[in-house]
Amino acid sequence: MPIRSLAVAAVLLLGTLGARAAAPDAAADAAWDKAAAARYLDARMDTWWAKAKPLKTGEGETKCLSCHTAVPYALARPSLRIAMGQAAPTAHEERMLDTVRQRVANVATQQPYYDHTEAKKTESLGVEAVLNAFVLTQYDTLGRSGMGSDATRAAMARLWEVQRPDGAWDWLNFGLEPYEANDSVFHGATLAALAAGTSPGMSASRDAQGQAGVERLRGYLKANQASQRLFNRAWALLAASRLPGVLDPVEKGALIGALERAQHPDGGWSMADLGPWHWSKAEAPYAGPGATDTALLAPSDGYATGLVVHALRQAGVAADRPAVVKGRTWLIQHQQAFEPANEGSAPWRAHSLNFDREHGGEKGEPWRRMFMSDLATAFAVLALTD
């Protein structure tokens, strides 16, 4: 969606994990290939800029962002380059920031992400307001100014301007998991909370509109998190790490416990277990838009494992907690060789929840087949650099 989705050089030897596992150390950090992850993420952004939908913006054009490639890049690439000792933002980071700033500066005249129906215009409005605020606050936070740029302040004002009365935002729904489906509105609200909970986000939300918006957002997340699938609740745990009051201590402890209980014996997590996944807009029983390979989706995968470990760490779970150590170990042991000439390779894989894209056919071409692996690689990086 525009807002739609080496073999390890040395295997970490931890021995048998006891009741209390050893904390990750320098040897564990050296056991995964950061450079290969960086090359993959950069290559995918090369492809994204080449293939993403162009949008009229002011007197020119920009490319849209995406929840499956651009947003995880904005999250993970700074952490990765810092871990590699590289301070300067990549060219893709700079382009993404320039794109968002142009969109924020031309909000009154820009082309929506989707404009073929009035409903899609409304959904696009909500999605872009959230993503613009999210990207800009993340990078202002890296600058540690605590205040934010003029563009960030404008993006936050726009965020509160288009917020729904219930505290969430309209979100693109094409009946596709995990970001364009019935309950993706909740996921969008967690991204908004990650923006609002930063120092720049809070600084830009001190007026009456901003304070009211924060309270509506907090109320929406608190009222709805318990009824969400475990995937959305993992994102709620991330949101609560930034925005106070989203989870109370009892709710937080219960959610951490639920995530830990979903861990597989091999140390990973599976997207199949973070559902259930509702692939259509129809009433239950739900029917997917295409066949999926359930045997392919059942094992542990890079996205689910990276997301859960990252959420646990951001929530304050200790690095030496067995669930975290086992999850990081799974990620290190399952990093794959990235071969730039092979469009089907990625350091970490995850698979489509909507179609069987792995066995050829109309839905199996490499470009979209890798959307979930973009997420898997980015969140593996976040889990391993926390």
The answer to whether 313 touches 234, Cβ cutoff 8 Å, is no
Tokens read off for 127:
């999605």
Helices (H) and strands (E) in the chain, counts: 16, 2
Residue 24 has pLDDT above 80, yes or no: no
Asked which of 157-166, 231-240, 244-253, 271-280 is least confident by mean pLDDT, the reply is 271-280
Q: In 3-state terms, what secondary structure has residue 126?
A: helix
- pLDDT for 363 equals 83
Residue closest to 146 by CA, chosen among 204, 61, 72: 204
Does some domain include residue 53? yes
DSSP bridge partners of 54: 63
Per DSSP, 176 falls in state: B
The answer to whether 279 touches 352, Cβ cutoff 8 Å, is no
Residues found in the chain: 386
pLDDT digits (tens, 9 = 90+) for 160-197: 999 999 999 999 999 889 999 888 999 999 999 999 99
Q: What is the mean pLDDT of the chain?
A: 89
pLDDT digits (tens, 9 = 90+) for 307-329: 999 999 999 999 999 999 999 99
CATH of the domain at 215: 1.50.10
Neighbours of 266 (CB within 10 A): 14
- pLDDT for 210 equals 98
By the 10 Å C-beta count (0-12 exposed, 13-18 middle, 19+ buried), 77 is classed as: buried
Residue 245 has pLDDT above 90, yes or no: yes
Residues contacting 383, CB < 8 A, separation 6+: 305, 306, 307, 309, 310, 313, 327, 328, 331
Does some domain include residue 78? yes
Does some domain include residue 1? no
Residue 382 has pLDDT above 80, yes or no: yes
Residue entry with tokens 């202002």: 140
- The pair phi, psi for residue 61, each rounded to 5°, is -130, 150
**How far is residue 183's CA from residue 173's CA, in Å, rounded to a whole number?**
9
Residue type, 350: A
- The pair phi, psi for residue 277, each rounded to 5°, is -105, 125
Tokens read off for 43:
């290559």
Residue entry with tokens 């492809």: 47
Does some domain include residue 16? no
Percent of the chain with pLDDT over 70: 90
Residue 20 has pLDDT above 60, yes or no: no
- pLDDT for 353 equals 94
Beta strands in the chain (DSSP E): 54-57, 60-63
- pLDDT for 70 equals 95
**How far is residue 244's CA from residue 230's CA, in Å, rounded to a whole number?**
20
Quick one: pLDDT band at residue 16, thresholds 50, 70, 90?
very low
- pLDDT for 28 equals 62
**How far is residue 153's CA from residue 347's CA, in Å, rounded to a whole number?**
36
- pLDDT for 99 equals 96
**How far is residue 259's CA from residue 323's CA, in Å, rounded to a whole number?**
9
- Antiparallel, parallel or unpaired: β 54-57 and 60-63: antiparallel
Residue entry with tokens 């990973």: 268
**How far is residue 53's CA from residue 30's CA, in Å, rounded to a whole number?**
38
Q: How many Å from the N-terminal Cα to the C-terminal Cα in the chain?
A: 28
pLDDT digits (tens, 9 = 90+) for 341-367: 888 899 999 999 998 998 888 888 888
- pLDDT for 360 equals 81
pLDDT digits (tens, 9 = 90+) for 45-98: 999 999 999 999 999 999 999 999 999 999 999 999 999 999 999 999 999 999
Tokens read off for 182:
């019935």
Does some domain include residue 14? no
To 5 degrees, how large is the angle CA 73–CA 75–CA 206?
135
Residue 22 has pLDDT above 90, yes or no: no
**How far is residue 84's CA from residue 333's CA, in Å, rounded to a whole number?**
20
Quick one: pLDDT band at residue 224, thresholds 50, 70, 90?
very high
Does some domain include residue 361? yes
Does some domain include residue 18? no
Average pLDDT over residues 229-251: 97
Average pLDDT over residues 109-134: 95
Residue 289 has pLDDT above 80, yes or no: no
Residue entry with tokens 């830009």: 204
**How far is residue 303's CA from residue 188's CA, in Å, rounded to a whole number?**
18
pTM score, whole prediction: 0.91
Q: Tell which wins on pLDDT, 6 or 183.
A: 183
Residue 216 has pLDDT above 80, yes or no: yes
Overall number of domains in the chain:
1
Residue 17 has pLDDT above 70, yes or no: no
Q: Which domain holds residue 180?
A: 30-385
Quick one: pLDDT band at residue 233, thresholds 50, 70, 90?
very high
Does some domain include residue 7? no
- pLDDT for 181 equals 87
**How far is residue 265's CA from residue 19's CA, in Å, rounded to a whole number?**
14
